[in-house]
A and B are shown apart, each in its own frame.
Chain A
């Protein structure tokens, strides 16, 4: 029997019971739809989170004070015997392949300007921050490259702060009061939106040293190192370690590469996607039970036909192939239907709820398809075997 004849034969017999075949395929289809949809959400989440992180660039290494970690961050952020200083940040610029370093001090304070006041995040940073994190300035410029140890009292506003304090007015040149000091506003950042629920735009950027004074701190929270993409992260990390040991007499910092973070995050999100795919797979399993049941019924109903096929020369293998083929065909039909429905719903969500990150995961779509057919195969084995084992004489006697 030729392949396409087998296909035609099974299609015809599946079509002869439209409603029954349709419902059987529907069972698998619902399962595939569930898998496609759930993995699309998982994949969407994956991309959403990774995009949020990679928007700061991937060739960044973070250095935090202290070796131990607590609260998910290096403990030294909260206080360390040996602080990280502006001088450390300057010295790290001399490490091979390092393009820039950005000292960071973070905290909250009240900012007064334009006749209003707002509790906001005040970040002390270096002039290279926009280049390192790929932030754009909307108005004016960023903090100028002053002497990092004695910078002028200048400030740059995040979009939210600007809007809350000055509305649509141009704040450039205005004075902003933060913790008893007056800062001249030299720029406004373009909106970056929220990252994991935190409004990046609710921030005022001032020079790092001035933030240390504001918060009465000795050391920086973090030094971010931007390195040449052509260099390997390991190479750069080794250089940083040598520099820190030379300056501090020991390695008393925690070094995290962006790539490490992305890898960890990526693998966690992969597990999440896999888990939701498996959950959708439960429906596929139930659909498989449906195929098995319907195929068993079909073998029983078509006993006489099986007898005839054997009489006109079909071997057991051919009978088996016919029923296995039918079972797989039903599963594949359901799979394609589920794929179309899932894709349509994903597209619909993309249009109707643009905030919900959905994205078709092609590997999972393909896997769902393959598993659907595999389920058809497995569910068909026992009925097909039963059909092949029928005694032709007895089968012909059934009406």
Chain B
């Protein structure tokens, strides 16, 4: 059996809030294989966003170990973490996080720009990514000129344009109407079918139930880990 893509070993993340010590993640052990489709659910404050941030290398655990593709990430420097995020991880946020002064195309180009890719190559790959999410005609529009669903599709194009192995989505449909939300879910699931590991944090049970593996968190602990085999 190959080593899992992600392995968490008694991982904890605590915050000092005033006098109280908040255990956002408490001794979590978890393994995720490449290509999995996983949803994380739980009430507010259960630690699901913290878990996603730790998985995305945006947040660092206070205790325990996180192995990504066999590499212990706790030994990485800030720059190495940034480089790993750049090449291996894509993010999709509830509030889209598009840069308002940039066109859709430029927003998609942003990770490649930071990576120092050539403009011609950037343009070509960004266009392809936008076409992949069905936004071929909208590439020169500013975020303000796009609907919520279109904005989130731009964000998805941006998340996958560096061809990461792992896509992390934090309430991707939270700010969208039902139809747009369904469209976004269809797109990310399509990406998962082509081999991308997909982890979705949501409090929407309907969306959470769609995942083949469902984690439920409470008070920083994994209280449920359900799997369904592909129908």
Contact = CB atoms under 8 A, between A and B. Distances in A.
Contacts of B116: 1-2, 5
Interface residues of A, number: 25
B208 interface: no
Nearest to B99: A305
Contacts of B119: 5
Contact of B91 (A5, A9, A312, A318): A312
A208 B145 CA distance: 92
A253 B98 CA distance: 84
A300 interface: no
A23 B215 CA distance: 53
Contacts of B69: none
B58 A393 contact: yes
Nearest to A313: B86
B53 interface: yes
Interface of B: 53, 56, 58-59, 78-79, 82-83, 85-87, 91, 93, 95, 97, 99-102, 110-111, 113-116, 119, 158, 162
Contacts of A313: 82-83, 85-87, 111, 114-115, 162
A345 interface: no
A110 to B, nearest CB: 81
Contact of A311 (B78, B85, B99, B115): B85
B97 A396 contact: yes
A9 B79 contact: no
B91 to A, nearest CB: 5
A307 B58 CA distance: 9
Given A12-B101, A312-B158, 11 more contacts: A1-B114, A2-B116, A307-B97, A309-B114, A310-B82, A311-B91, A313-B82, A313-B115, A314-B86, A396-B97, A399-B95
A313 B90 CA distance: 9
Nearest to B86: A313
29 contacts: A1-B113, A1-B115, A12-B101, A16-B101, A304-B97, A305-B97, A307-B97, A308-B97, A311-B58, A311-B85, A312-B85, A312-B91, A312-B114, A313-B82, A313-B85, A313-B87, A313-B162, A314-B82, A314-B86, A315-B78, A315-B79, A316-B78, A316-B79, A318-B82, A392-B59, A393-B58, A393-B59, A396-B97, A399-B95
Nearest to B54: A393
Contacts of B93: 396
Nearest to B95: A399
A8 to B, nearest CB: 9
Contact of A318 (B53, B56, B59, B114): B114
B113 A13 contact: no
Contacts of A13: 101
A5 B95 contact: no
A308 B99 contact: yes
A316 B77 CA distance: 11
A312 B86 CA distance: 5
Contacts of B86: 312-314
Interface of A: 1-2, 5, 9, 12-13, 16, 304-305, 307-318, 392-393, 396, 399
A9 B113 contact: yes
Contact of A392 (B58, B83, B102, B115): B58
A314 B82 CA distance: 6
Residue among A2, A304, A312 facing the most chain B CB atoms (10 A cut-off): A312
Given A5-B113, A12-B101, A393-B59, A315 B83 contact: yes
A136 B59 CA distance: 86
Nearest to A17: B101
Residue among B82, B111, B162 facing the most chain A CB atoms (10 A cut-off): B82
Return the 4 tightest CB-CB contacts between A and B, nearest first.
Answer: A313-B86, A16-B101, A315-B82, A312-B111
A317 B116 CA distance: 14
A271 B82 CA distance: 52
B56 to A, nearest CB: 7
Contacts of A12: 101-102
Nearest to B97: A308
A305 to B, nearest CB: 6
A306 to B, nearest CB: 11
Contacts of B162: 313
Nearest to A392: B58
Contacts of A396: 58, 93, 97
B144 to A, nearest CB: 12
Contacts of A314: 82, 86, 114
